[in-house]
């Protein structure tokens, strides 16, 4: 890679100057003038204008270089000869499955030791992150594999959490019984929602699920008899095991291990599903419904299966969430959360398990560790989403399509091709 600074021509500088001027103009009212209509004061902050100008000037160079590189990469991808020469890390890893296996085991080992190595605070953050990993993997079934856009996924998480909270409040149901029940209730609702919307396509489906999500939240906020409204349900017992009495640290650790087991289980199941008949039917549905149907796949059943499996995981994660926080209210299940889970799936790479896990971990942990810039973290987060999508639209770790090709001489007839 040659030094990008060498390529700067007067033309580039002129471009950047114009950009800087444009952004100084664009941000002028909002960045420079601050009006307080209560006290009737106007504050002029000229310094901000220069900051914006200087920042744009530098940033536009970086942007240009990165865009050029991306376009170069795309052009290279269109010429197959060039592409074949470049062996990616991914392809090298595939040649040696042993490395992948050992790597996964090491990561699993580290994950098991995590609560011992770190304190309770870190463990608690990690539980949240892993909850989102389960959610993202669940949503990945519908969005990543099935290609259906769902914007109200958090409802099913909420159903799981409320199942445990309400049944525990009225009947003293314990955590372990609630775990499958939460999943089943969420799944039942998932199927119930899926049946009428099976006919809908693309963005219509997205908006209907969004609508269901909002209805759920508003009903929970107002139906005081059932959900205690916005004040929520408190004192939900933490999970225990064998009827032992646990202190806070121990039960946090237990919750951590429960969720870890579920993460591993989810990965295992999704992985098995991917290459199954059902998984291939989902991919067919994503690529082309009509073509899939004419190949004899029952699209209705396939869609229902995607909804059912996906919502089950959300329900289970919801029960664990209720057990972890011991308090739930409708504010935890806003549309914003659904959007966040969707971001995890797309940012990581739709349909790719390692991608979705990475996406979920980054999106939950990044704001946590950006607390140093607490004020700016959502601003930075938004910018990161845009930048990631512009430069890597297929996600961080894109899914590989299994492709069967016949190759002479090499003796190898199966190869993963993107």
Partner 1 sequence: MNSTYFIELFLGGLTRGSIYALIALGYTMVYGIIQLINFAHGEIYMIGAFTALIVSGALAFTGLDPVIIFLISAVVAIVFSAAYGVTMEKIAYKPLRKAPRLSALISAIGMSMFLQNYVLLAQTSDFQPFPDLIPDLKFLKPIENIMNTTQFIILATTAVVMVLFTLLIKYTKIGKAMRATAQDKIMAQLVGININKVIMVTFLIGSSTAAIGGILISSHVGQINFYIGFIAGIKAFVAAVLGGIGSVPGAVLGSFVLGLTESFGTGYISSDYEDVFAFGFLIIILIFKPSGILGKPTKKKV
The angle formed by the CA atoms of residues 101, 120 and 353, to the nearest 5 degrees, is 30
Q: Is 137 or 342 the residue whose CB approaches partner 1 more closely?
A: 342
Buried/exposed code over 6-16 (b: 16+ C-beta within 10 A; e: otherwise):
eeeeeeeeeeb
If the CB atoms of residues 173 and 299 are measured against partner 1, the closer one turns out to be 299
How far apart are the C-alpha atoms of 357 and 134, rounded to whole Å?
8
Kindly state the smallest distance separating residue 377's Cβ from partner 1, in Å: 9
Beta bridge partners, 44, equal 33
Residue 60 neighbours by CB distance under 10 Å: 19
Question: Site residues (CB under 8 A) for partner 1?
Answer: 22-23, 25-27, 29-31, 33-38, 40, 42, 48, 67, 70, 143, 149, 196-197, 199-201, 203-204, 206-208, 210-212, 214-215, 218-219, 221-222, 288, 290-291, 294, 335, 339, 342-343, 346-347, 350, 375-376, 378-379, 381-386, 388-390, 393-395
- DSSP percent split of the chain into helix, strand, coil, nearest 5: 75, 5, 20
* Residue 272 C-beta: closest distance to partner 1, Å: 25
Closer to partner 1 by Cβ: residue 27 or 174? 27
Contact between 127 and 261 (Cβ < 8 Å): no
Q: Closest distance between partner 1 and the C-beta of residue 330, in Å?
A: 12
Q: Map residue 36 onto helix, strand or coil.
A: strand
> How far is the C-alpha of 293 from the C-alpha of 280, rounded, in Å?
13
Closer to partner 1 by Cβ: residue 175 or 307: 307
Q: How far is the CB of 60 from partner 1 (least distance, A)?
A: 10
Please state, in angstroms and rounded to a whole number, the distance separating the CA atoms of residues 368 and 388: 19
| Sequence-ordered list of residues with C-beta below 8 angstroms from that of 175, at least 6 positions apart, any chain | 164, 237, 238, 239, 240, 319, 323
Nearer to partner 1, 99 or 211 (CB): 211
Closer by beta carbon to partner 1, 197 or else 269:
197
Q: Least separation, in Å, of the C-beta of 333 and partner 1?
A: 14
Q: Find the angle CA(137)-CA(241)-CA(265) to the nearest 5 degrees.
A: 20
Of 173 and 200, CB closest to partner 1: 200
Closest separation in Å from C-beta 34 to partner 1: 6
- Residue 384 has φ and ψ, to the nearest 5°, of -65, -40
Shortest Å, Cβ 132 to partner 1: 16
């Amino acid at each position: 890679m040659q030094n990008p600074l060498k390529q700067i021509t007067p033309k580039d500088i002129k471009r950047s100057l114009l950009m800087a001027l444009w952004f100084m103009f664009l941000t002028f009212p909002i960045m420079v003038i601050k009006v307080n209509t209560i006290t009737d004061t106007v504050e002029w902050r000229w310094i901000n204008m220069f900051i914006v100008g200087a920042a744009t000037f530098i940033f536009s160079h970086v942007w240009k270089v990165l865009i050029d590189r991306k376009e170069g990469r795309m052009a290279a991808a269109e010429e197959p000869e060039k592409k074949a020469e470049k062996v990616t890390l991914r392809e090298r890893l595939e040649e040696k499955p042993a490395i992948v296996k050992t790597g996964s085991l090491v990561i699993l080992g580290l994950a098991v030791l995590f609560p011992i190595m770190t304190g309770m605070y870190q463990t608690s953050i990690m539980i949240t992150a892993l909850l989102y990993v389960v959610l993202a993997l669940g949503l990945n079934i519908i969005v990543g594999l099935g290609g259906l856009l769902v914007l109200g996924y958090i409802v099913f998480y909420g159903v799981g959490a409320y199942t445990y909270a309400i049944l525990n409040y009225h009947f003293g149901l314990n955590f372990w019984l609630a775990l499958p029940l939460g999943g089943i209730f969420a799944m039942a609702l998932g199927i119930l929602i899926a049946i009428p919307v099976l006919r809908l396509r693309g963005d219509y489906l997205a908006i209907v699920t969004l609508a269901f999500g909002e209805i759920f939240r508003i009903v929970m906020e107002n139906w005081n008899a059932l959900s205690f409204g916005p004040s929520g349900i408190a004192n939900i017992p933490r999970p225990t095991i064998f009827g032992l009495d646990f202190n806070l640290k121990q039960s946090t650790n237990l919750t951590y291990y429960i969720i870890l087991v579920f993460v591993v289980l989810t990965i295992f199941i999704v992985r098995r599903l991917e290459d199954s008949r059902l998984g291939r039917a989902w991919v067919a549905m994503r690529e082309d419904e009509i073509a899939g149907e004419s190949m004899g796949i029952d699209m209705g059943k396939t869609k229902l299966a995607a909804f059912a499996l996906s919502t089950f995981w959300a329900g289970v994660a919801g029960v664990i969430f209720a057990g972890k926080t011991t308090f739930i209210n409708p504010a935890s299940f806003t549309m914003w959360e659904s959007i966040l889970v969707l971001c995890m799936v797309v940012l990581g790479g739709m349909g790719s398990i390692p991608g979705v896990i990475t996406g979920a971990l980054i999106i939950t942990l990044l704001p946590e560790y950006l607390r140093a810039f607490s004020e700016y973290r959502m601003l930075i987060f938004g910018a990161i989403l845009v930048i990631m999508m512009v430069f890597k639209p297929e996600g961080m770790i894109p899914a590989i399509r299994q492709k069967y090709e016949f190759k002479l001489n090499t003796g190898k007839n199966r190869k993963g091709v993107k």
